[in-house]
Amino acid sequence: MIRAAYLADPGLEAPLEEELTRRGVAIARWHGPLALTEAPPVPAAWALDIWDAPVELPAPSVKAAADALRGIQRNWSQVPVLHHRRSALIEARLPPVKARPLRFPEPAPTGHLGGWTLLDTDLLLASPTKSSPFPRGAVRFEEDREGPPSRAYLKLWEGLTRFGQWPGPGEVALDLGASPGGWSWALAQLGCAVVAVDKAPLDPRVSALPNVTLRQESAFGLPPEKVDWLFSDVICYPARLLGLVQRWQGFARRMLCTVKFQGATDHETAEQFAALPGARLFHGAHNKHELTFLWEAP
């Protein structure tokens, strides 16, 4: 019996499987991007979404499949893997899910959303509850294609949306490894004072913003100081970033950092990030081979 399903980001199935194996969870089989297990659900940083209450439902017809889902609850999102035409016909019989792009800093939706997929032409796997409020675990935003110097700001937006809070006027945000300034640009739009730290210059459009100050120093050589928020998208080995985070605990009230992996995934260090009191660790839809670390002082 399938007791949990973990949705992997395409191309990152291996880190998810490795993480689950380290947690003692054996994957019964892969169903497209879904890792199906007979073990109870556990936290998994590399899963875009976790289905924690899956059930198998007979689906002898399109109508019967849709009726079975509607009999449980109203809102569903599917992960199409097999029998795409039949899946589309079932989906058309369900109430539409209004998954419009968010206008940041709009909060994440709070409505109940389940997940389903066709295991075979006449068999559904459906979970009324799942970890993400977004279809397929992927938040989409109304993008700004003119202001920021790069698209890196999207993973910052995703992290802050998952955090459920963000810096505002009267607060100081330290952006380590800021160049060319995508994160500094996004933070400046929120009205906080941004201190960008990087030996390299910022994009002129970012450095011209009145609430952005550049300190051309090393992110790792900067002595800790009292700040409301610490941000880091620095390219470095996870263990080095962990040391930086630990030094800044007691100085920063909140942190949001990208944990980047080069080559093999360093699961041991990732587990040390997750074990810090007040920490959350997840792989977002806008991350590559990396995790987002959120921390708030207990």
| Burial class for 103, CB neighbours closer than 10 Å (0-12, 13-18, 19+) | exposed
pLDDT at 100: 85
Residue with tokens 């910022």: 202
CA distances 267 to 48, 131, 201, 255, Å, are 17, 21, 33, 20
Q: What is the pTM of this model?
A: 0.95
**Of 63, 130, 199, 260, which residue is the catalytic one?**
260
87 φ, ψ (degrees, to nearest 5)? -60, -45
- Residue whose token pair is 């993400």: 132
Q: Is 185 within 8 Å of 147 (Cβ atoms)?
A: yes
Neighbours of 256 (CB within 10 A): 26
Q: Is 260 a catalytic residue?
A: yes
State the amino acid at position 211 in one-letter form. N
pLDDT of residue 112: 85
Q: What letter does residue 95 receive in the DSSP assignment?
A: P
Single-letter amino acid, residue 112: H
Task: Tell me the residue type at 173.
Answer: A
> What is the enclosing helix (H) or strand (E) of 3?
none
Q: Classify residue 55 by burial, with Cβ atoms within 10 Å: 0-12, 13-18, 19+.
A: middle
Residue-level pLDDT at 111: 81
The closest of 214, 226, 228 to 176, measured between CA atoms, is 214
Q: Which of 19, 15, 34, 1 is nearest to 115 (CA)?
A: 34
Q: What is the pLDDT of residue 264?
A: 95
> Do the beta carbons of residue 232 and residue 219 sit within 8 Å?
yes
For 145, phi and psi rounded to 5 degrees? -95, 10
State the pLDDT at residue 110: 87
Kindly give, in sequence order, each residue whose CB lies less than 8 Å from that of residue 67, ignoring residues fewer than 6 positions away.
none
Q: Are strands 290-296 and 252-260 parallel, antiparallel or unpaired?
A: antiparallel
d(CA 70, CA 48): 24
Mean pLDDT by 10 residues, the chain (298 residues): 97 98 98 98 98 98 98 96 97 90 93 94 97 95 91 96 96 96 96 97 95 96 96 97 97 98 96 98 97 96
According to the model, what pLDDT value does residue 287 have?
97
What per-residue confidence (pLDDT) applies to 146?
87
d(CA 186, CA 194): 10
